[in-house]
Structure 1
Amino acid sequence: MTAAMHLPRFSVRQRITLGVNRYEIHATTPEGREGELMAFAQQKRFAFKEEVTFYTDDSRSRRVFSFKARQRLDVGAQYDVLDEAGTPLGVFAKKFGASLLRSTWTIAVPGLEATGRERSVAVALLRRATDDLPLPFHFDFTDDAGGGPVMSSDRKWSLRDRYDVVVPDTRLDFRVAAAMAVALDALQER
C-alpha cells in the first residue's frame, strides 16, 4: 500500500534563529539539488508538551501537519503525527534504553513499523562526549517485519543543521518522514 503522500527524497535545513527551532523542508530534484519548498516547520516555544507545526511556507498562514508529544517532559515520549485536520497519520518514539549506546527511534504508520538507529557506534559515542561539536550523524530505519530500508537521514557538515533524507519505502507518508527527520534534530539530545 502506497502512502497518501510519498516523497522519495527531500532535504531539511535548520534556520538560525534565537529561541525557536525553524526548518525548511525541500523536495530534492532528480539531479540531487534542492527543489520545491514542501513545508516550513516551527517548534512551539515554552510548551509543556513538545510540539512542532509544519506550514506551507514561512508566513505560517496555513498549517499542513504537525507532531505533538503524548506526555510531558518524558525521555521516552511518543509523538503523534497529525494532518491539518488533526487526523492521526502515524506515531514515532525514542527508545530510551536502546538509545544509551546508539540513539534509537521507532516509526509506526498503517501497514508499517520501523526502527531507526544511528549508523555508527563510534560517532554516537563521540557525539555524546563532545556535545558542542556539530558532528554529522546518520540514521537508518528498517522495516521491523522484513528488514528492508524504510528511511535514512544523513546530517551534512555545515554551520547550520542540514539533512538529506531518502525514503525508499512508499508506505511511509512524507508528512511522517518529515516529522521524524525534524525530530532527529529538534529532539535528539533529550
Structure 2
Amino acid sequence: MHLGELASVRSGLVLARKESREPTPYCYNLLTLRSIHPDGSIAQEDLSVFHASDPLKTEYLTQPGDIIVRLTTPYTAALIDSTTTGLVVSSNFMIIRTESNTLLPDYLFWLLNTPAVKRRIYTSTTSNVLSAVKASFFTQFQFHVPSIAQQERIGQIHKLARRETALLHQLAEEKEKYYAAILAREDSSMKRGTSV
C-alpha cells in the first residue's frame, strides 16, 4: 500500500511568504532543524519564535499524531504529542497526517526512523545536490501495513525503548555530576591538607 492512500502528505510553510519583520500578535513557536534530535524527540529549548503577518492556517501547525520528517539528512521523523502541538512547520519538513483507521501514528513514526527506510530515502535523493527528499517519495512510499494489534504492539515497544534510553542518558548525566562533585571535594581536601 502507498502512504499517500492512508495519510495526507504535505510540505511545511515557506516562511518568507508569511513572516513579519516586526513583532505581531500572531507569534508562534517555530520548529527548526536543530529542534529535532536524531532520536526523533523535539527539544523545546531549540524552538525559534516566528512572527506571522496574519494568522496561519492550521495545516501548517502541528497537531497530535502528526509525523514531521526532515527533508534533509538524517531524515529524522518526529511524532507530535500534546506537548508539541501548535508549532509552525517550515518547508524544511514534511507533515504526514494519518487519515485512516488502518495506520497508527506511533507505528509510522517507528517505521520512518528505521535504518532500512532511511536508506530508501537516501537512495531516492542521490541525484539531487542538497540530498533533499521530495514529497512524492512519501506519497508513493510503499509498505506492508500490519494489523492494528501488531502496530499497537510495535508502537508501545518503541515508546518504552525510547523512554528507557532517555532515562539511561539522564542517569549517566547525573552520575557524571555526582562523580565530578566527589572528585572536586577530594581535590579541595587534598589542597587544604598539603597547605597545613
TM-score class normalised by the smaller sequence: under 0.3
Larger C-alpha radius of gyration, 1 or 2? 2
Q: Which has the larger share of helix? A: 2
Q: TM-score, normalised by structure 2?
A: 0.27
Q: Which has the larger share of strand? A: 1
Query: Which structure has the higher relative contact order (CA within 8 Å, separation 6+)?
Result: 2
